[in-house]
Amino acid sequence: MSYGKTAAALPVFAGFTCGALLACTFIFLPSEVSGQVATCFDTELTTQTEVDNFDPNCTLMVGDLVINDRSPSSTGAIRNLTPLRNLEQVNNLVIHNNNDLSSLNGLNIERVTNCLSIANNPRLGSANWGARRAF
């Protein structure tokens, strides 16, 4: 599901404002973004099917990536982020309200250029992805 930006003093995406986020800062994780870049735009993933259907060629997200489980049943709940493994850079990353997400394994994002927010994911024990620790 795609959506556009709203005109506000703070960046707003999927009902979350940057000022209300857990962390709003420049975050540069080790390593450079690879030379091969395929660009995609604002995306909200609300079910595992949407995560599974994410474009595997996308390495650069211009805008926001919101992972916010709204699946009407537990069978569609977001549990696995591996289909996002080729994504290397996003402007804003929001991972909220994912009751069945227990790991960020498979998420290989190397650079978040604006806001990072990870909240209300009760089964998520830590904010590690790959060999990196987000904070």
- pLDDT higher at 70 or 21: 70
Residue 104 identity: L
Give DSSP secondary structure letters for 64-94: EEEEE---SSGGG-----GGGTT--EEEEEE
- Enter the DSSP assignment of 52: H
Residue 5 pLDDT greater than 50, yes or no: no
In the numeric block, the tokens 């290397």 are attached to 88
- Enter the DSSP assignment of 85: T
Structure-token pair, residue 105: 């394994």
18 DSSP β-pair partners:
none
Structure-token pair, residue 120: 């209300």
Residue 56 pLDDT greater than 70, yes or no: yes
Once rounded to an integer, what is the mean pLDDT over residues 85-100?
95
- Percentage above 90 pLDDT, the chain: 57
Predicted confidence band at 75 (pLDDT cuts at 50, 70, 90)?
confident
